[in-house]
Structure 1
Amino acid sequence: MTKYTAEYMLAQVKDNVEITDPTLEALKLYPIPELETDLSNHVEWERALDFHLQYYGLEVLVRSMKTEYPHGPGRNDFKTTDHWHRWQRHCLHAYSIIYSQAAKVFKAGDLWSRWNMTSFCPHVLYHAISEHIYEECYY
């Protein structure tokens, strides 16, 4: 099993995506659909979300963070304060990607109180939505 250190996860993230980068067209051509409250389009939503997280190098950060760091990595898990601040910015970026097209489902399912959302942790947000999809669609 691969151990994903905080520094390794940080190294996977693309820091400076150029606005003139032609690959950004792919992001425009493959938008994340808004997740329907009945979750009927959850497969399409998850596929598009995965595309965007992979494009920005945020997938490992979202999926592996709590596996390696149950309470999230702390300042001491990074070589420098700059790395710590970059990590925090990338967490907020990942959170915004996930939340951007799932807000109405999150609110409708009262997932705020159920998951005790007190931080902007993208892993916790993604897990809450995934768990909700699983319970509603497969359970």
Structure 2
Amino acid sequence: MTKYTAEYMLAQVKDNIDSTDPTLEALKLYPIPELKRDLSNYDRWERVLDFHLQYYGLDVLVECMKVEYLDGPGRDDFSTTDNWHRWQRHCLHAYSIIYSQAAKVIEEGCLANDWAPISHCPHDLFEAIRDYRQGVHNFN
């Protein structure tokens, strides 16, 4: 069984992708659809979102950050301050990818239910959308 340490999760993230990387075309060819308010396109939205998170190596960070760390990794869980700062940037990047095409659902649905992503934790944001989907719309 994989131990999802902070350093392991950070090692999965791709740091060297820049705007000149020709493989970025893949993201343009498979754009994340806007999540509809009624969540009728949720499965497609999640599938494409997962593609984007995998592309950047952020999928493990989003899904597993709370497996080993109930409140997410902290500064002491990293070997260097630079790694801690890289982790924070990657968390914000993942958060922005998730939020980018789900803003209406988040603002009108999740936030209306007194949920507030103060920490900008991508794992918590994704879980809130999933919980909203389960609770409000009772999807499986």
Distance 1:53 1:110 in 2: 21
Deviations 1:94-123 (A, max 9, x none): 000000000000111143653332211000
Percentage of identical aligned residues: 70
Amino acid at match of 2:12: Q
**Do the aligned residues in 1 keep the contact of 2:13 with 2:56 (CA within 8 Å)?**
yes
Alignment gaps of 5+ in structure 1: none
Alignment-derived partner of residue 107 in structure 1: 107
Distance 1:18 1:101 in 2: 22
Alignment-derived partner of residue 30 in structure 1: 30
Instruction: Give the TM-score taking structure 1 as reference length.
Output: 0.94
Alignment-derived partner of residue 119 in structure 1: 119
Alignment-derived partner of residue 128 in structure 1: 128
Distance 1:40 1:137 in 2: 12
Deviations 1:60-90 (A, max 9, x none): 0000001211111111100000000000000
Distance 2:99 2:116 in 1: 16
Over 3 Å counting, the alpha-carbon distance change for 1:39 and 1:67 in structure 2 is same
Distance 1:35 1:77 in 2: 34
Instruction: Give the TM-score taking structure 2 as reference length.
Output: 0.94
Alignment-derived partner of residue 85 in structure 2: 85
Distance 2:31 2:7 in 1: 29
How large is the RMSD of aligned CA atoms in angstroms? Answer: 1.4
**Count of residue pairs the alignment pairs up:** 139
- What is the CA-CA distance between 1:133 and the residue it aligns to? 1.6
Alignment gaps of 5+ in structure 2: none
Runs (4+) off by over 3 Å? none
